[in-house]
Amino acid sequence: MTEAEIDAKLAELGITLPAPAAPVAAYVPVVIAGGLAYVSGQLPFVGGALVTGRLGEGVSLEQGTEAARACGIMILAQLQAALGSLARVERIVKLGAFVNSTDDFTDQPKVVNGASELMVGVFGDAGKHARSAVGVPVLPLGAAVEVDAIVAIRAD
Protein backbone atom coordinates (compact mmCIF):
# COMPACT_ATOMS: atom_id res chain seq x y z
CA MET A 1 0.00 0.00 0.00
CA THR A 2 1.12 3.55 -0.58
CA GLU A 3 1.54 6.07 2.19
CA ALA A 4 -1.52 7.95 0.94
CA GLU A 5 -3.63 4.79 1.02
CA ILE A 6 -2.50 4.00 4.56
CA ASP A 7 -3.15 7.56 5.70
CA ALA A 8 -6.63 7.31 4.21
CA LYS A 9 -7.26 4.03 6.04
CA LEU A 10 -6.09 5.48 9.34
CA ALA A 11 -8.34 8.51 8.84
CA GLU A 12 -11.29 6.28 7.91
CA LEU A 13 -10.72 4.28 11.12
CA GLY A 14 -10.48 7.50 13.13
CA ILE A 15 -6.90 6.82 14.18
CA THR A 16 -4.35 9.53 14.83
CA LEU A 17 -1.00 7.95 15.61
CA PRO A 18 0.31 9.13 18.98
CA ALA A 19 3.89 10.13 19.69
CA PRO A 20 5.66 6.79 20.05
CA ALA A 21 6.07 5.89 23.73
CA ALA A 22 9.62 5.93 25.06
CA PRO A 23 10.77 2.52 26.28
CA VAL A 24 10.18 2.21 30.03
CA ALA A 25 13.66 0.73 30.45
CA ALA A 26 17.04 -0.06 28.86
CA TYR A 27 15.97 -1.22 25.41
CA VAL A 28 14.83 0.22 22.09
CA PRO A 29 11.36 0.19 20.51
CA VAL A 30 12.29 -1.43 17.18
CA VAL A 31 15.24 -3.45 15.85
CA ILE A 32 15.49 -4.37 12.16
CA ALA A 33 17.32 -7.55 11.19
CA GLY A 34 17.10 -9.69 8.09
CA GLY A 35 14.18 -7.80 6.58
CA LEU A 36 12.09 -8.04 9.73
CA ALA A 37 11.28 -5.33 12.26
CA TYR A 38 11.05 -6.60 15.82
CA VAL A 39 8.79 -4.29 17.84
CA SER A 40 9.14 -4.29 21.64
CA GLY A 41 6.11 -5.11 23.76
CA GLN A 42 3.81 -2.08 23.67
CA LEU A 43 1.48 -1.01 26.45
CA PRO A 44 -1.99 0.48 25.94
CA PHE A 45 -2.32 4.25 26.11
CA VAL A 46 -5.78 5.74 25.55
CA GLY A 47 -5.95 9.52 25.59
CA GLY A 48 -2.37 9.56 26.85
CA ALA A 49 -3.18 7.47 29.95
CA LEU A 50 -2.06 3.90 30.50
CA VAL A 51 -4.96 1.44 30.67
CA THR A 52 -4.34 -0.59 33.81
CA GLY A 53 -6.16 -3.44 35.53
CA ARG A 54 -7.13 -7.03 34.99
CA LEU A 55 -9.60 -8.74 32.71
CA GLY A 56 -12.10 -10.71 34.76
CA GLU A 57 -12.24 -8.13 37.55
CA GLY A 58 -11.84 -4.35 36.98
CA VAL A 59 -11.50 -4.36 33.21
CA SER A 60 -14.44 -5.30 30.95
CA LEU A 61 -14.10 -7.27 27.71
CA GLU A 62 -14.88 -4.08 25.81
CA GLN A 63 -12.25 -2.08 27.69
CA GLY A 64 -9.71 -4.86 27.23
CA THR A 65 -10.36 -5.01 23.50
CA GLU A 66 -9.93 -1.25 23.29
CA ALA A 67 -6.66 -1.60 25.24
CA ALA A 68 -5.39 -4.25 22.81
CA ARG A 69 -6.28 -1.93 19.92
CA ALA A 70 -4.30 0.84 21.68
CA CYS A 71 -1.29 -1.49 21.87
CA GLY A 72 -1.68 -2.06 18.15
CA ILE A 73 -1.86 1.67 17.45
CA MET A 74 1.35 2.14 19.44
CA ILE A 75 3.00 -0.62 17.38
CA LEU A 76 2.06 1.39 14.28
CA ALA A 77 3.44 4.59 15.83
CA GLN A 78 6.73 2.82 16.63
CA LEU A 79 6.95 1.38 13.12
CA GLN A 80 6.29 4.77 11.54
CA ALA A 81 9.02 6.35 13.67
CA ALA A 82 11.51 3.56 12.91
CA LEU A 83 10.74 3.08 9.20
CA GLY A 84 9.88 6.66 8.22
CA SER A 85 6.67 5.45 6.62
CA LEU A 86 4.13 2.67 7.17
CA ALA A 87 4.23 2.17 3.39
CA ARG A 88 7.37 0.11 4.05
CA VAL A 89 5.30 -2.51 5.90
CA GLU A 90 5.14 -5.58 3.68
CA ARG A 91 3.37 -7.91 6.08
CA ILE A 92 2.42 -8.05 9.74
CA VAL A 93 3.98 -11.45 10.47
CA LYS A 94 3.30 -12.20 14.13
CA LEU A 95 1.71 -10.60 17.18
CA GLY A 96 2.57 -11.85 20.66
CA ALA A 97 -0.12 -10.80 23.14
CA PHE A 98 -0.22 -10.97 26.92
CA VAL A 99 -3.52 -10.23 28.68
CA ASN A 100 -3.58 -9.31 32.38
CA SER A 101 -6.16 -11.88 33.50
CA THR A 102 -7.81 -13.36 36.56
CA ASP A 103 -7.32 -17.10 36.58
CA ASP A 104 -10.84 -17.76 35.34
CA PHE A 105 -10.89 -15.28 32.45
CA THR A 106 -10.49 -17.26 29.21
CA ASP A 107 -11.51 -14.76 26.50
CA GLN A 108 -7.97 -13.63 25.65
CA PRO A 109 -8.65 -14.25 21.92
CA LYS A 110 -11.55 -11.77 21.89
CA VAL A 111 -9.49 -9.17 23.75
CA VAL A 112 -6.52 -9.49 21.41
CA ASN A 113 -8.78 -9.11 18.38
CA GLY A 114 -8.64 -5.41 19.22
CA ALA A 115 -5.07 -5.44 17.90
CA SER A 116 -5.60 -8.05 15.19
CA GLU A 117 -8.60 -6.37 13.59
CA LEU A 118 -6.74 -3.07 13.61
CA MET A 119 -3.92 -4.58 11.54
CA VAL A 120 -6.31 -6.08 9.00
CA GLY A 121 -8.30 -2.83 8.95
CA VAL A 122 -5.21 -0.79 8.12
CA PHE A 123 -3.22 -3.14 5.88
CA GLY A 124 -5.87 -5.53 4.46
CA ASP A 125 -4.42 -8.92 3.51
CA ALA A 126 -0.92 -7.70 4.44
CA GLY A 127 -2.24 -7.20 7.96
CA LYS A 128 -3.20 -10.87 8.43
CA HIS A 129 -0.76 -12.32 10.94
CA ALA A 130 0.12 -15.33 13.06
CA ARG A 131 -0.55 -14.79 16.74
CA SER A 132 -0.20 -16.14 20.22
CA ALA A 133 -2.39 -14.89 23.05
CA VAL A 134 -2.06 -15.92 26.68
CA GLY A 135 -3.18 -14.82 30.11
CA VAL A 136 -0.69 -13.45 32.64
CA PRO A 137 -1.27 -12.44 36.27
CA VAL A 138 0.39 -9.04 36.00
CA LEU A 139 2.10 -6.75 33.47
CA PRO A 140 4.57 -3.84 33.66
CA LEU A 141 3.10 -0.79 35.42
CA GLY A 142 -0.12 -2.74 35.93
CA ALA A 143 -1.03 -2.55 32.22
CA ALA A 144 -4.10 -4.46 31.03
CA VAL A 145 -2.50 -5.76 27.82
CA GLU A 146 0.94 -5.95 26.21
CA VAL A 147 1.53 -6.77 22.54
CA ASP A 148 4.79 -7.19 20.61
CA ALA A 149 5.20 -7.70 16.87
CA ILE A 150 7.35 -9.06 14.06
CA VAL A 151 6.84 -7.20 10.79
CA ALA A 152 8.28 -7.88 7.31
CA ILE A 153 9.50 -4.68 5.65
CA ARG A 154 10.39 -3.66 2.13
CA ALA A 155 13.85 -2.39 1.35
CA ASP A 156 13.44 1.35 0.76
**Where along the sequence are the contacts to a second copy (CB under 8 A)?**
23-31, 33-36, 38-41, 54, 91, 93-96, 98, 101-110, 112-113, 116-117, 120, 128-142, 146, 148, 150, 152
- The least distance separating a second copy from the CB of residue 4, rounded to whole angstroms, comes to 25
Q: Let me know: does 31 contact 105? Beta carbons within 8 Å.
A: no
Cα–Cα distance measured from residue 115 to residue 97, given in angstroms and rounded to the nearest whole number: 9
Q: Which is nearer to a second copy, 17 or 102 (CB)?
A: 102
For a second copy, the closer CB: 63 or 100 = 100
Q: How many CB atoms lie within 10 A of CB 138?
A: 11
Cβ proximity to a second copy: between 4 and 23 the closer is: 23
Contacts of residue 148, defined as CB under 8 A and 6 or more positions apart, other chains included, come to 38, 39, 40, 41, 42, 75, 95, 96
Nearest distance, CB of residue 98 and a second copy, angstroms: 5
Write down the least CB distance from residue 30 to a second copy, Å. Answer: 6
Q: Burial of 84 by CB count in 10 Å (0-12 exposed, 13-18 middle, 19+ buried)?
A: exposed
Toward a second copy, which CB reaches closer, 5 or 117?
Answer: 117
